[in-house]
Amino acid sequence: MWPFFPFKKSNNSPSAKTVVTGNLQKDLNYLKKAFFYPDNKDLIVREIYIDTLEKEVVLLFMAGMVDRKVIEEHVIKTLIQAKPSNVDSKLQEDIVKRMLSIQNTTVYYTLEKAIKGVLMGKTIMLVDESKKIFALETTGYEHRSIDKPERENVIKGPLEGFVESSLINRSLIRRQLKSKNLITEGIEIGTSGICEVSLIYMKNIANDKLVERVKKRLKQVNSDNVQGLSVLEQHLEERPYSLIPTMLYTERPDRAVAFLQEGHIILIMDNSPACLVLPVTFWALFHTAEDQYMRWPYGNFTRVIRMIALLVAMFTPAVYLAITNFHPEMIPSELLLSIMNTREHVPFPAYFELIMLELAFEILREAFLRVPSLLGPTIGIVGALVLGQAAVEAGIVSPILIIIVAMTGLSAFAVADISFNFVVRIIRFIFMISALIIGLYGIALVLIGLLAYLNTLKSFGVPFMSPLAPSGPSSKDTLFRWPVWKQWLRPFYLDPKDSVRKKPPKRGA
């Protein structure tokens, strides 16, 4: 493991200072001070006197983090209207046991925990003369409703995407995978301890060592606030300077479920409309959900097309440079003559022309992300059509280059994964420069280097190119896939507890 984040043991033993004293005013003052109470308007302090107990109770919660309805109807109302017959003794537990109709409560003994509880959206109940603090599960805040996935669209298959709520995301997964073996572990990360990551895996499939490894890595995160999965991904990476991503960021619950069933681990966090899948291989980044939803021939067809698009996106500009500048004997004479003819009017060398145009395309792409959506189509026409046409007519670029750049630009979009898309677009420039220096030999050189690197790369101990290299028993779901009934093995590289998905199909059955 990379020793970037020295493991820091968090202090769990209650210090004398923060232990609940039992003195209501004293504890309350401590909490108020912690939240800068009168200044901070979001903290709500509600004092209630319970007649039957003849005790004062104080409720503390954060406005906006709690479900108001639950607090009003199930907490305050029941406490105020409690009838004497309901309470026999004056034990504080009875308040919880007999009076509150709340699904889940926890008991805290330190004020530090109470503060965290408030931050997580719980309602803290301080009872006079009690050394316990009750945390009532009233969390409920606004979030987006379940929507279609934005990036990973499918034509055939479920249309639900993850939203920003961890709870809802977990329910989306659990609904698709109804199994008692599906485990959700909550792990607090970071120094402040208010970021919780849900670690989800199949207890009967996922390898224990892998789960331990991921947990250990999660605990090494040494940051006070991890904003979401996209940031967490960067904390967890074992090779932070690598060009290649080693985790999959997907917004499709069905993909997450498919990975869970193979023995992968899923991470979910609040505020992230996605989940992280780890470990991953090259193929996980290359595949889309639809490959499996489509019938066998169609799924394979799209995969072949996508592979071609991937190669086109990486190599076309580089190969164009190499062939026209170093190996003009490789293209038909007619084509060469027409390239020569169009190049005749262009004042720049081919490499400058190409790199200029590629950069222009990347600029357009980046700019379009930020263009207000109302202006999008207008700017699109100006940017792409007018600019391209004018550049050719002005003799700054040759028309064949427009074809090449448009082709590569479009092909890059066939690569579904956003990280992988960046990899392809950056590598394209590396190929272009190597082709410029020494032609096809340079392309071959970089390609060999790239393949060698991909083969050394590991994602949480799993070789990146498996099950191709190293090879081992799996369902051979790589560039091609077999019909679903033939995919009865789980991939070996995850070393799953149960390596067989289902009984192997009988021949002729």
Instruction: For other proteins, give the closer residue by CB, 326 or 488.
Output: 326
Instruction: For other proteins, give the closer residue by CB, 181 or 341.
Output: 341
Instruction: For other proteins, give the closer residue by CB, 324 or 466.
Output: 324
Instruction: For other proteins, give the closer residue by CB, 278 or 323.
Output: 323
Contact 184, 198 (CB under 8 A): yes
Each residue 42-61 as x (binds other proteins by CB under 8 A) or -, in order, gives --------------------
Contact 126, 135 (CB under 8 A): no
| H or E, element range at 334 | helix 333-343
Angle between helices 166-176 and 253-262 (to 10 degrees): 60
Instruction: For other proteins, give the closer residue by CB, 5 or 348.
Output: 348
| H or E, element range at 43 | strand 43-50
* Position among 91, 382, 385, 437 found at the interface with other proteins (CB under 8 A): 437
Instruction: For other proteins, give the closer residue by CB, 5 or 441.
Output: 441
Q: How far is CA 141 from the centre of its chain?
A: 21
Spatial separation of the C-alpha atoms in residues 257 and 355, rounded to whole Å: 42
Instruction: For other proteins, give the closer residue by CB, 45 or 402.
Output: 402
CB 301: neighbour CB atoms within 10 A?
A: 13
Task: Provide, rounded to whole angstroms, the least separation between the CB of residue 401 and other proteins.
Answer: 12
Q: Does 375 bind other proteins (CB under 8 A)?
A: no
Instruction: For other proteins, give the closer residue by CB, 420 or 431.
Output: 431
Stretch that binds other proteins, among 73-81, 268-276, 325-333, 401-409 (CB under 8 A): 325-333
Give residue 421's identity as a one-letter amino acid code: N
Instruction: For other proteins, give the closer residue by CB, 284 or 446.
Output: 446
CA-wise closest residue to 342 among 299, 286, 399, 278: 399
* Position among 280, 436, 443, 465 found at the interface with other proteins (CB under 8 A): 436
Task: Provide, rounded to whole angstroms, the least separation between the CB of residue 437 and other proteins.
Answer: 6
Q: Does 439 bind other proteins (CB under 8 A)?
A: yes
Residues in 392-431 at the binding interface with other proteins, rule: CB under 8 A: 399
Contact 461, 449 (CB under 8 A): no
Q: Does 438 bind other proteins (CB under 8 A)?
A: yes
Stretch that binds other proteins, among 208-216, 423-431, 439-447, 495-503 (CB under 8 A): 439-447
Task: Provide, rounded to whole angstroms, the least separation between the CB of residue 419 and other proteins.
Answer: 24
Question: Left if phi > 0, otherwise alpha if psi is -120 to 50, otherwise beta: which for 460?
Answer: left
How far separated are the first and last CA of the chain, in Å rounded?
47
Instruction: For other proteins, give the closer residue by CB, 442 or 467.
Output: 442
Spatial separation of the C-alpha atoms in residues 249 and 246, rounded to whole Å: 10
* Phi, psi dihedrals of residue 347, rounded to the nearest 5°: -80, -15
Instruction: For other proteins, give the closer residue by CB, 286 or 351.
Output: 351
Task: Provide, rounded to whole angstroms, the least separation between the CB of residue 395 and other proteins.
Answer: 12
Q: Does 109 bind other proteins (CB under 8 A)?
A: no
What the block records as the tokens of 318 is: 């580089």
Spatial separation of the C-alpha atoms in residues 298 and 296, rounded to whole Å: 6
Instruction: For other proteins, give the closer residue by CB, 54 or 329.
Output: 329
Instruction: For other proteins, give the closer residue by CB, 213 or 343.
Output: 343
Q: Does 296 bind other proteins (CB under 8 A)?
A: no
Spatial separation of the C-alpha atoms in residues 470 and 133, rounded to whole Å: 55
CA-wise closest residue to 119 among 223, 233, 34: 34
Task: Provide, rounded to whole angstroms, the least separation between the CB of residue 454 and other proteins.
Answer: 16
Task: Provide, rounded to whole angstroms, the least separation between the CB of residue 431 and other proteins.
Answer: 14
Torsion, Cα 272 278 282 283, to 10 degrees, reads -90
Task: Provide, rounded to whole angstroms, the least separation between the CB of residue 330 and other proteins.
Answer: 9
* SS3 annotation, 224-264: CCCCCHHHHHHHHCCCCCCCCCCCEEECCHHHHHHHHHHCC
Q: Does 350 bind other proteins (CB under 8 A)?
A: yes
Stretch that binds other proteins, among 145-153, 177-185, 321-329, 465-473 (CB under 8 A): 321-329
Any residues with CB less than 8 A from the CB of 338 and at least 6 apart, and which?
400
Task: Provide, rounded to whole angstroms, the least separation between the CB of residue 329 and other proteins.
Answer: 4
Q: Does 380 bind other proteins (CB under 8 A)?
A: no
Q: Does 326 bind other proteins (CB under 8 A)?
A: yes
Neighbouring-strand partners of residue 479: none
Q: How far is CA 121 from the centre of its chain?
A: 24
Q: Does 445 bind other proteins (CB under 8 A)?
A: yes
Helix (H, G, I), strand (E, B) or coil at 25: helix
Task: Provide, rounded to whole angstroms, the least separation between the CB of residue 339 and other proteins.
Answer: 6
Give 328's DSSP letter: G
CA-wise closest residue to 24 among 61, 4, 49, 7: 49
Residues in 328-347 at the binding interface with other proteins, rule: CB under 8 A: 328-329, 333-334, 336-344
Task: Provide, rounded to whole angstroms, the least separation between the CB of residue 291 and other proteins.
Answer: 36
Residues near other proteins (CB under 8 A):
324-326, 328-329, 333-334, 336-344, 349-350, 399, 434, 436-439, 441-442, 445, 449
